[in-house]
Amino acid sequence: MKSVADSIETSKTRSLLKGKRVLITGTTGFLGKVLLEKIIRVVPDVAGVNLIIRGNKKYPDAMDRFKAEILTSSIFDHLRSTKPELLKNFCEQKIQCIGGEITEPAFGLSKTKYTELAHSTDVFVNSAASVNFQEELDTALLINTLCLNNVADFAIAAGDIPVIQISTCYVNGFNEGVIKEGICGPTGKRIPCDENGYYDTEHVVSALQNKIGKTKAAVKDSKQLVEALIELGLKEASRYGWGDTYTFTKWLGEQLILKRLKGKRLTILRPSVVESTLESPIPGWIEGVKVSDAILLAYARQKVSFFPARKAGIVDIIPVDLVANGVILSIAEAFETPDDARIYQCCSGSQNPLKVERYVNVICEEVRVNWAKYPNLAKKQPEKKFVLVNKKVFIGVMKGLKLAHSVSDIVRFKSLNTKSKAAKVVDSTLRLSSIYSLYTSPEYVFNSDKLMALSDRMGEKDKELFPVDAQKIDWEYYFQKIHVAGLNRYGMEDRTDAVVTKESVKVEAPSLEEAARA
């Protein structure tokens, strides 16, 4: 059997990356780690990898944070045991950690450091983002939209180097049907377009900044201000045609970078819902509990037995190793034909559609039958059934409950600002169901024809080394033999409770019955 090393010799992608210096942001995150590991393992001939890492309280120094929070990750275990010398040498000789904040002009670096970095970078991969659906609007705008000005400035200063911007398929917002690899428009409040087809988002951003300023001036209590900025984000997103602040600000970011780079030297790569590795470096590796795993965990812990969903909708899940491969292919193409702007979707919807009902049945069945194998997920065999209810029915019932609680609060002379706990539970359930129903009641299918064509262009060796085609996934096998076990082993690492990471909500989100009981 041929090894990966044999194949490497004739890889077009590897040849194109040889001797190049890649700058990556977001490597303390999920996708960034998988990307870095893959580059070290399969593309070790790059000249260097520059990582922009912001310091945190525990590790103010970027290199210290790299060693403590990135290098110790179990994603590197495979390399540590199979090629320890390669890992050691690569880290010592080729990795440069730069302590910087990408939301600040020049990343907050001194002029000398900035120029030095610009002169030692051939491509910029921006994976940093706030993936919190309910982020405060000012924070989301800064990291998902405005920081792309700093990325564009850097790319220009470095000599018009190509940029790979990691976006999300869900920039489609409320657009329905087949979503192709092109620019999406708003379905809500109209935003004018220029002659190049780009939306006039400058006005939108300044209107948002205006509202943020007014909110900050009006709300003095810090906790209430956080709530107000979250609400503002969701309200504005919905007004323009998006279901949450995250996808809205990522769409604004796409527009900003497209315009700043004048439609050149740019690849926007949009993954769908990113989940555990399919095979590389090991099957099932995941960091934290992701958004769609909230359903799995809620079922395993019997917290929720009703969920709003459209059974026949296509839930779009893509293993993280396929996304990292998509990034590497995009980098290679950017070196081969640098002038164009491209949009790719790394997803499964069109290649290997998975219906919501099948997805939920497969994961729940695995947890119900083999619960004892997954002690970090389930403490006992789940007994209650998991029922998918129509979104309209669910929201209708919740609105009925909301009205009932409002009346009861008024009868009990509660002011509008001091809702009962029950009314708050209903409110938050309504908010969560409206955000998540876009994902669990999909009315769209993401298409990835262009990414498949890129994979074809790169040739057979690269299809083997950097697969991106979701068609090869056997969903039953993936969820039952790989993903649930991976989630139990890696997703729950160093965790004492089932609280979902930044990207999603607490699994303890109230169910219909809990809300009704409350």
Ligand X SMILES: NC(=O)c1ccc[n+]([C@@H]2O[C@H](COP(=O)([O-])OP(=O)(O)OC[C@H]3O[C@@H](n4cnc5c(N)ncnc54)[C@H](OP(=O)(O)O)[C@@H]3O)[C@@H](O)[C@H]2O)c1
Q: Which is nearer to ligand X, 131 or 422 (CB)?
A: 131
Q: Which is nearer to ligand X, 73 or 437 (CB)?
A: 73
- The CA distance from 191 to 185, in Å, is 8
Q: Which is nearer to ligand X, 83 or 506 (CB)?
A: 506
Question: In angstroms, what is the minimal distance from the CB of 493 to ligand X?
Answer: 14
Question: In angstroms, what is the minimal distance from the CB of 270 to ligand X?
Answer: 7
Q: Which is nearer to ligand X, 129 or 378 (CB)?
A: 129
Q: Are 326 and 451 in contact (CB under 8 A)?
A: yes
Phi-psi group of 295: left, alpha or beta (phi > 0 → left; psi -120 to 50 → alpha; rest → beta): alpha
Cα distances from 2 to residues 8, 40, 383, 464, 472, in angstroms, run 11, 20, 47, 11, 20
Q: Which is nearer to ligand X, 398 or 432 (CB)?
A: 432
Cα distances from 49 to residues 24, 86, 211, in angstroms, run 7, 14, 40
Q: Which is nearer to ligand X, 132 or 434 (CB)?
A: 132
Question: In angstroms, what is the minimal distance from the CB of 378 to ligand X?
Answer: 23
Q: Which is nearer to ligand X, 30 or 475 (CB)?
A: 30
- The CA distance from 382 to 128, in Å, is 37
Q: Which is nearer to ligand X, 164 or 509 (CB)?
A: 164
User: How crowded is residue 429: how many other Cβ atoms within 10 Å of its Cβ?
Assistant: 25
Nearest by Cα to 170 from 393, 450, 437: 437
Q: Which residue is nearest to ligand X (CB)?
A: 29
Binding positions for ligand X, rule: CB under 6 A: 26, 28-32, 54, 101-103, 127-131, 143, 166, 168, 250, 271, 273-274, 290, 502-503
Nearest by Cα to 187 from 128, 147, 264, 247: 247
Q: Are 37 and 75 in contact (CB under 8 A)?
A: yes
Tokens of 304: 């929720």
Cα distances from 345 to residues 128, 267, 327, 335, in angstroms, run 18, 11, 11, 20
Q: What radius of gyration, in Å, describes the C-alpha atoms of the chain? A: 23
- The CA distance from 69 to 79, in Å, is 16
User: In sequence order, what E strands does 250-355 have?
Assistant: 266-271, 273-275, 306-308, 317-319, 341-346
Question: In angstroms, what is the minimal distance from the CB of 273 to ligand X?
Answer: 5
Question: In angstroms, what is the minimal distance from the CB of 54 to ligand X?
Answer: 5
Question: In angstroms, what is the minimal distance from the CB of 347 to ligand X?
Answer: 9
